[in-house]
Amino acid sequence: MPIDKNHDSIATYQKYLDKIVKMQQDQEKAREQEYQLLRQHLDQMNVLIAELINVSESGSTIAASKKIVPFQTGSQSVGQLLIPPQNPDDYPTRVDVYAINSNRVVPHMTLINDGPGEIFFINAYAKNVFNEQEGHLNVNDQRELFNVYEVRLRSTLPQTTFRLIEGIFRTGSFAPQTKANVEIRPTVQTNEILVVFDAIFDLSVPITITSPTTQTFPVLNIFPSFQPLLPPGATATFVNLATGLPMPFLIPPGFILEAFAYFGNTSTDCTIRVYAEPIVNSAAIFGTTIFTTRSVLPYTNRGIPFNFVPNINFYSTQAIDPLGAPPPGRFALFTITNDDPFNNMIGNPFFVAILRQIT
């Protein structure tokens, strides 16, 4: 029986045509479904808008009284890891604050160690931007973190727990950030010494009051860290409040120095610099003490109190002295420079630090 090639071709074309028609019908059906969904969403939006208008016109205070629940993790366990990991990804415990908190960096947080072990941590203020030095929390200690994107932790003992709470959390309240609060912040352990380095720049002039009667009182600035106004471009050192001696500060053998907080205010732009002696007993070798820059902290906030930066544990000598300073000890030096080219600087910046015995 002969094959009708024209008939086969027509049948093939008809199949293609049927497929095209079917695809068009499916597309029209899909568009109709999308249209109906859009109509439903639009109707719902119109209802919500109408309700919002009614609430607004009624003078209701419902919206104004709505509270935002602060971010908090509750009590969580920290994985045990005794040695600081070389890679941030190797920390056993992570808290991705940004992802959990609807893609929002939390400006102020408090990290609390509920024990029984010590906690070491690093925190980031942007994706994969971590502080270089680990923070350290003893049992029942707490640390303020700022602009928190993520926190990674490790502990020295199993079943150690922590809490991460939005806000500055002290003794059950969100206390104001004051110098006194900062100075008492750490829970000092038996192997630690609290050290405060201070600098006060002010005028030394008599005080005259006019009410209820005019009186003039002399001013005796015997506070060890008091200094005259800092001239434009000038640099001054901080003073150890415990001894009244200006820096450099000698870190004793077997100890490290961790400067974990700095606060205060100044009337001009300024720059704080952190130095350390690269070679112990450098004066005996070079005839004078040699320093290298370890951290530079510029401020351009003119008279506004210093805010803690994201890297709270911004400097620790443990990076260069993992077993503590070798004999006869290592010098550290903190300085502040008035960056204003025209005006003297008034203010009271200060550091809070911990001397921790390692060996």
CATH number of 76-166: 2.60.120
pLDDT tens digits along 240-257? 988 999 999 999 999 999
pLDDT (0 to 100) of residue 278: 93
Flag whether pLDDT at 136 surpasses 60.
yes
Tell me the helix, strand and coil percentages in the chain, rounded to 5.
20, 35, 45
Structural domain boundaries in the chain: 1-66, 76-166, 186-357
Give pLDDT, residue 108: 76
Computed over every residue of the chain, the mean pLDDT equals 77
Q: Residue 222 has what pLDDT? A: 75
Query: Looking at per-residue confidence, does 355 or 63 come out higher?
Result: 355
d(C-alpha 69, C-alpha 52), whole Å: 23
Residue type, 9: S
Q: Of 3-12, 42-51, 105-114, which gets the smallest average pLDDT? A: 3-12
Q: What percent of the chain has pLDDT over 70?
A: 69
What's the pLDDT score for residue 275? 92
